[in-house]
Chains A and B, each alone.
Chain A
Amino acid sequence: DTEVTQTPKHLVMGMTNKKSLKCEQHMGHRAMYWYKQKAKKPPELMFVYSYEKLSINESVPSRFSPECPNSSLLNLHLHALQPEDSALYLCASSQKGGTSGNTIYFGEGSWLTVV
């Protein structure tokens, strides 16, 4: 089973709202990722958690705040977003991070629209 589950599938939020995207995997993977994907573009890495610690932040604005409560869960807290933040947000996981030969599995994504 190579399943990464993301909720919600669709989210519409105002620029003053606070919302969260959630991601869950039960494959025993120890690395989890957030990617952002705009239409007709490849995914762009935002954050990497390795063994529940934030290991990479790709200079993402502070209005995006990741959280890894445990090894199976990954959240992305959203606050004061801009319309240009509207995109597909993909969660992913891999068995381990920081070593070569990882296979990264993606979820179905959460479509975010900021109005």
Chain B
Amino acid sequence: AQSVTQPDIHITVSEGASLELRCNYSYGATPYLFWYVQSPGQGLQLLLKYFSGDTLVQGIKGFEAEFKRSQSSFNLRKPSVHWSDAAEYFCAVENQAGTALIFGKGTTLSVSS
């Protein structure tokens, strides 16, 4: 069965420091992968997606993610975190039927000054 694992429930990063959020997926074929961000009280905003091609994907707000098939991973990175990046981050994979997203449990990012 398809699944997404985000191993880190909560991460705290100092403002200006680099960030990496981990995501592992279980999927038999080429996955369609997404990262969404949810600020408190808000909906989900798409940060970036991977469908095919270049395995390093650039997104909005200075985020990037790298697809590594050998490790079944799609980790999200940002070189310098801002206080406004504090939010919940969800990794997701499209199901095989193309009808819905399978979400990880999310990682809460806190940013300290």
Contacts and interface: CB of A to CB of B under 8 A. Distances in A.
Main secondary structure of the interface of A (DSSP, over half): loop
Contacts of A55: 99
Nearest to A10: B41
A42 B98 contact: no
Contacts of B43: 4, 6, 90, 106-109
A99 to B, nearest CB: 5
Interface residues of A, number: 29
Interface residues of B, number: 23
A49 to B, nearest CB: 11
A105 B46 contact: yes
Interface in A1-51: 2, 4, 6, 33, 40-43, 45, 48, 50
Nearest to A42: B103
A112 to B, nearest CB: 13
B94 to A, nearest CB: 6
